[in-house]
């Protein structure tokens, strides 16, 4: 048993130095009239779906994993909303990036 634990720890140390880029989803907004409540509601739904998509990084087998994914989605959505005005003006879309 001790060998298995040491081997598992060794695998963690042998990971490549360059981490993979976090998952991301491009959310289009060019088709929306963001000056209306309906357009804002559609955008909000798209951002929520994108946040959940990039934050579902496991099969959510237990409550702990579900809580991690939900916290990730909440934080990701907050970041996307905080920058949405700038991103829409510059590109016509919002990039939602996970953690």
In tens, the pLDDT along 7-37 reads 333 334 444 445 688 888 889 888 888 888 8
Dihedral, 84, 90, 91, 92 alpha carbons, nearest 10: 60
Local structure of residue 60 (DSSP, 8 states): -
pLDDT grade, residue 2 (50/70/90)? Answer: very low
Give the relative orientation of helices 63-91 and 37-55 as an angle to the nearest 10 degrees.
130
């Amino acid at each position: 048993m001790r060998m298995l634990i040491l081997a598992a720890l060794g695998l963690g140390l042998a990971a490549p130095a360059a981490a993979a880029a976090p998952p991301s989803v491009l959310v289009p907004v060019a088709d929306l009239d963001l000056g209306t409540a309906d357009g804002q509601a559609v955008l909000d739904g798209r951002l929520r779906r994108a946040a959940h998509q990039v934050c579902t990084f496991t099969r959510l087998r237990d409550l702990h994993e579900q809580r991690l994914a939900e916290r990730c989605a909440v934080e990701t959505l907050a970041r996307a909303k905080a920058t949405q005005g700038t991103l829409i003006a510059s590109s016509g879309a919002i990039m939602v990036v996970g953690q």
